């Protein structure tokens, strides 16, 4: 039993008997290109290379220009919040361990974590509010353009008339106004974990583990590599002004995971081993194929949900993985009431086996031959079902992972 404590600029650790708490700071994503997210670069140089161009405490003397055709008027623009917060992580766990005899041990415990101020790319600052959206068809009526002649004619906002909804936007001279990162996302993870292990003895080693967990977040697109090069082209948030609509079980959540493995050295160089893994499916997002509110800056429209979309396991097929009739189309000028990830995808079950023999050629030279079978039961491993409501493929699965695979391996060790 003991206590350890360490504190530095960005890391702290407190631990005791069976208990660990970790805090990690500094979860931020750097700019991926040198000038991003700025579209213009202006420099201020010393006049004589002796005296400084400016005193740092007073800043440069360059004046910021008003928006003009060269700085994004009539286009989609993006930037970074001046008061951007840095994200941080917190982790904690409590576990109990027990040994049985000389070879067996068991461990069970709880592990949790919380991520705060995650970078969220799916935010459009120039979106109408839900209250404004309720104005209905009046939003799409054409009205005289007060910015005519000031915005390039090549822009969708450069004509003599524009839709009335454009004048209600916070930044009416622009289309989309995005943030490269808006650190307002959060996630929480809770899990129960257990493990049984037999240490290698008498030629046999064995272990089995089970995890029951739940991961909840409101930042489902954080780890999408496509958004690292600029503002998101399509925003995954149903309402950029209401992040509560995004809170749901994460697409990366796997509630149940069981795995087990063994190795048995039979004798005379023969060895047999196996690995089994069973896990439940992950949540799947459902959105309308046609976003009827895109004109108002809404990046995604979800359908209305009128029933439980998850079917009993015996009724699931690749042609109808979930109950597609549990959804109906959300009309224009409304937000659908379906949650972000209302459907559970396919689970996973696999058994891998290995049979091998080691031959001693000389004192310093050994050869090993192995036959390996992956997914030996040839259990189908399906991809995710189509979650695009309104398409013919909605609810179907058209992809699958590798079937049973055999592999023969030869090794020489010297």
151/171 Cα distance (integer angstroms): 13
How far is C-alpha 193 from the chain's CA centre? 23
The answer to whether 305 touches 342, Cβ cutoff 8 Å, is yes
201/101 Cα distance (integer angstroms): 12
Residues facing 178 on adjacent strands: 78, 124
CA-to-CA dists, residue 170 to 193, 260, 280, angstroms: 48, 56, 44
CA angle in degrees (0–180, nearest 5) for 18-21-23 = 160
248/188 Cα distance (integer angstroms): 11
Contacts of 82 (CB under 8 A, 6+ apart): none
Asked whether the bond before 246 is cis by omega within 30 degrees of 0, the reply is no
pLDDT of residue 225: 46
182/148 Cα distance (integer angstroms): 32
The answer to whether 230 touches 36, Cβ cutoff 8 Å, is yes
Residue 90, helix vs strand vs coil: strand
Residues facing 313 on adjacent strands: none
81/79 Cα distance (integer angstroms): 7
Asked whether the bond before 262 is cis by omega within 30 degrees of 0, the reply is no
The answer to whether 281 touches 256, Cβ cutoff 8 Å, is no
Tokens coding 73:
């008027």
Q: Which of 79, 47, 84 is nearest to 64 (CA)?
A: 79
The answer to whether 283 touches 217, Cβ cutoff 8 Å, is no
Helix (H) / strand (E) containing 320 = none
For the chain, which residues make up each domain, given as ranges? 4-28+72-413
Residue 117, helix vs strand vs coil: strand
pLDDT of residue 104: 96
CA-to-CA dists, residue 330 to 108, 238, 327, 334, angstroms: 46, 12, 9, 7
Q: Which of 37, 39, 314 is nearest to 178 (CA)?
A: 37
CA angle in degrees (0–180, nearest 5) for 7-27-123 = 150
Contacts of 149 (CB under 8 A, 6+ apart): none
Task: Tell me the mean pLDDT per 10 residues along the chain, length 414.
Answer: 32 38 42 45 81 84 74 81 84 96 95 90 86 97 95 92 97 87 87 97 96 91 50 72 93 95 94 97 96 94 97 95 98 96 96 96 92 96 96 97 94 92
pTM of the entire structure?
Answer: 0.81
First to last CA, the chain: 44
181/31 Cα distance (integer angstroms): 10
């Amino acid at each position: 039993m003991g206590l350890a404590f360490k504190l530095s600029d960005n890391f702290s650790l407190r631990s005791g008997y069976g208990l660990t708490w970790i805090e990690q700071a500094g979860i931020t994503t750097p700019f991926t290109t040198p000038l991003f997210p700025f579209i213009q670069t202006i420099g201020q140089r010393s006049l004589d290379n002796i005296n400084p161009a400016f005193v740092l405490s007073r800043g440069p003397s360059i004046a910021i220009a008003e928006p003009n055709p060269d700085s994004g008027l009539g286009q989609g623009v993006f930037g970074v919040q001046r008061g951007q917060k840095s994200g941080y992580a917190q982790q904690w766990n409590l576990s109990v361990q027990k040994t049985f005899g000389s070879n067996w041990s068991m461990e069970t415990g709880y592990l949790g974590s919380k991520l705060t101020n995650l970078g969220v790319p799916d935010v459009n600052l120039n979106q109408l509010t839900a209250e404004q959206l309720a104005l209905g068809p009046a939003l799409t009526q054409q009205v005289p353009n007060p910015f005519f002649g000031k915005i390039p004619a090549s822009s969708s906002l450069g004509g003599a008339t524009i839709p009335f909804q454009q004048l209600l936007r916070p930044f009416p001279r622009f289309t989309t106004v995005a943030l490269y990162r808006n650190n307002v996302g959060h996630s929480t993870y809770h899990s129960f974990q257990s493990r049984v292990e037999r240490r290698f003895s008498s030629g046999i080693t064995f272990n089995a583990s089970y995890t029951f967990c739940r991961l909840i977040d409101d930042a489902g697109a954080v780890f999408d590599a496509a958004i690292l090069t600029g503002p998101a082209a399509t925003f995954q948030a149903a309402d950029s002004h209401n992040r509560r609509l995004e809170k749901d079980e994460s697409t990366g959540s796997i509630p149940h995971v069981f795995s087990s493995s063994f190795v048995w050295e039979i004798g005379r160089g023969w060895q047999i081993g196996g690995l089994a893994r069973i896990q439940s499916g992950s949540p799947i997002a459902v959105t309308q194929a046609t976003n009827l509110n895109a004109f108002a800056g809404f990046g995604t429209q979800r359908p209305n949900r009128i029933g439980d979309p998850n079917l009993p396991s015996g009724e699931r097929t690749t042609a109808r993985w979930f109950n597609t009739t549990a959804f109906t189309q959300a009309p224009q000028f409304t937000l659908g009431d379906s949650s972000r990830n209302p459907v559970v995808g396919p689970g996973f079950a696999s058994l891998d086996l290995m049979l091998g023999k080691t031959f001693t050629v000389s004192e310093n030279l050994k050869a090993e031959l192995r036959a390996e079978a992956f997914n030996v039961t040839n259990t189908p491993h399906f991809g995710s079902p189509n979650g695009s409501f309104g398409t013919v493929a909605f609810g179907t699965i058209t992809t699958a992972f590798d079937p049973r695979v055999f592999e023969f391996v030869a090794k020489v060790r010297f």
